[in-house]
């Protein structure tokens, strides 16, 4: 996005992890705002949307990539309720909160794009990853419902499902 000249609002719980991306974008000469935000908190997601609009005047694209992996290697019956709720809260509620926060502005400005990052386990399930799989299946449903509701207002809402990605996790 930065290489294409887009102004960026980068948000998440761990701003130290975001800063290298922000620095790279700033080197390209684009406006970049970094905001500490816990997407699972609806008030913080709403404050993030307000700050983005106050800083740049509009939100054209929302990419929901914040998420977590949940318990790994546990069967569904070994997964605690707290572990299940934590990953569902992050992977589903976080995306719901940010979409809910920015969609009124996108609709008012005449359109926009939302991309939710799911995963292939949300399309086929995975033994030992029940909570994560459930959260990504749920994200697909949230995405589809928002797409049907926002589409008539020229807002595209989609979910991409990348496979395994080489990275720290």
Bridge partner list, 156: 113
* Catalytic annotation, residues: 132
Please list, in sequence order, all residues whose beta carbon lies within 8 angstroms of the beta carbon of residue 58, skipping any fewer than 6 positions away: 105, 109
Q: Are 113 and 155 in contact (CB under 8 A)?
A: yes
User: Which candidate, 123, 133, 27, 42, places its Cα nearest to that of 79?
Assistant: 133
């Amino acid at each position: 996005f930065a290489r294409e000249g887009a102004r960026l609002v980068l948000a998440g719980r761990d701003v130290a992890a975001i800063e290298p991306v922000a620095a790279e974008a700033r080197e390209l000469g684009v406006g970049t705002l970094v905001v500490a935000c816990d997407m699972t908190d609806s008030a913080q997601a709403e404050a993030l949307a307000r700050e983005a609009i106050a800083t740049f005047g509009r939100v054209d694209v929302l990419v929901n990539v914040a998420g977590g992996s949940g318990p790994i290697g546990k069967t569904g019956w070994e997964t605690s309720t707290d572990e299940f709720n934590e990953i569902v809260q992050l992977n589903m509620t976080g995306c719901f909160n940010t979409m809910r926060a920015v969609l009124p502005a996108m609709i008012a400005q005449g359109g926009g794009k939302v991309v939710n990052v799911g995963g292939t386990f949300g399309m086929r399930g995975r033994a030992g990853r029940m909570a994560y799989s459930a959260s990504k299946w749920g994200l697909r449903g949230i995405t589809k419902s928002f797409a049907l509701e926002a589409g008539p207002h020229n807002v595209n809402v989609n979910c991409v499902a990348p496979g395994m990605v080489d990275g720290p996790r």
